[in-house]
Amino acid sequence: MDTETRFAGFVATLGRGPGRSRALTRAEAREAFAMVLAGEAAPVQVGAFLMLLRYRGEDPEEVAGLVEAARAVARLADMPPVALDWPSYGAGRTRDAPWFLLAALAVGQAGIPVLMHGSNEFSTGLTVADGLAALGLPPALDPAAARRDLAARGFAYLPLAAFAPALERLLQLRRLLGLRSPVNTVARLLDPADAPAAVDGVFHPPYIEVHLGVAERLGRERLLVLKGGGGEAERNPAKPATIHLWRNGIGRSELILPALSEAASGMPAEATPDAAPDSAVLFAAVWRGEASPPALVAKVVGTIALALLATGRVDSPAEADAMAAELWGRRRVA
C-alpha cells in the first residue's frame, strides 16, 4: 500500500458521517502526523486532515500522539539544562507588546534557565523577535545559537522555523485555510529541550483541559496553564486569575491568583516617554527602568510569579508575587 492510500484511511476515520467517524487513537495520530511531517501525504490530504481534527475538537489522547510524532523530529540535543519551557504562539487581535518576554528574561537572569520557542507570524502587535530587537538582542537562528544564549544569559528565544521547519510550514497553512489547526496546540506542548517545567497560555478556556490531559499522558513533570492575554502565558494583574497545574505523581490542582495591586509591583510610578503604549520604545524603556507605568510593571511582575509557581520555586501566590517583585527589582538591564 502506498503512503497516500495509507494516509487516506486516517482522513476517512475522522471524516465519516455522524455515528461513524471517531477520533484517532494515540498510536494512529502518531503515525499519521509522522507521515505528514515526512512529506508522505499529499497537500490536499494534509489540509483535510488538519481541518477535520479541528472540526471534531481536540482530543487529549489524539493530541498526545501528534505531539509524540512532532517531538521525534524536533527535540533539541546537547542543550544546556533548561528549567522552564516557555512556548509563545499567541496571535491575539488585541496583542500589543510581549510583556511576558521581559518576565522570561528576568527569570533567566535569576538562575532559572528559560527556553522560549515560538511563531508569532499572525500577531497584530510586536512579536517576540521585535521585542528582542528593541532590547538589542537577536533571536537564536539555530540550536547552536540558543545554546550560547542560554549559557550567556539564562534565556534563549528559538523560532520554530529554526529547529522544526516542517511544523512551521504547517502553522503557515492558516493563511490558506483561514483557521488555526491543532498544530498550534502541538507546538505549545512540544517541550523540545525536555525541561522539567513549562508555563503555557491559551486563548480559549476549553484548551486548558487538552493541555493538562496531554501532559498527563506524556508523563510531563510540571505544567502550568492559564487563560492568558492573546493566548500567551501572561498574567492580567487587574483581575484574579485561575492557574491550572499538572505535577507528575501528584496530579492536577488549581490556584486562584489575586489581582495584583500597583504597589505589589515593587516599582514606583514614573514618567512615561512620549511614545505609544505598544511601541518598542516604551517596551525597552520599561526593561531599562526608564519608565515604570504601574499597570505594565505589574503585568511583568505578575507573569514572573507564574514562572516561579510553574517551576515549584514557591508554593503560594503570595510568595510568588513577593519573590517576583524582588527578581524584577534586581534584573540586570545592560
Q: What is the pTM of this model?
A: 0.93
Say if strands 222-227 and 114-118 run parallel, antiparallel, or are unpaired. unpaired
- Is 84-329 in CATH node 1.10.20.10? no
Domain limits, the chain:
3-57, 84-329
d(C-alpha 296, C-alpha 193), whole Å: 30
- For the chain, which residues score pLDDT lower than 50? 263, 265-277
Say if strands 197-202 and 155-159 run parallel, antiparallel, or are unpaired. unpaired
- Looking at residue 185, its amino acid is T
pLDDT at 334: 75
Can you say how many angstroms the Cα of residue 24 is from the centroid of all Cα atoms in its chain?
25
Place of cell 500589543: 96
Can you say how many angstroms the Cα of residue 61 is from the centroid of all Cα atoms in its chain?
20
Three cell numbers written together for 64:
498526545
Count Cα atoms within 13 angstroms, Cβ side, for 93: 0
Structural contact between residues 208 and 230, judged by C-beta atoms closer than 8 angstroms? no
pLDDT at 267: 44
Structural contact between residues 304 and 321, judged by C-beta atoms closer than 8 angstroms? no
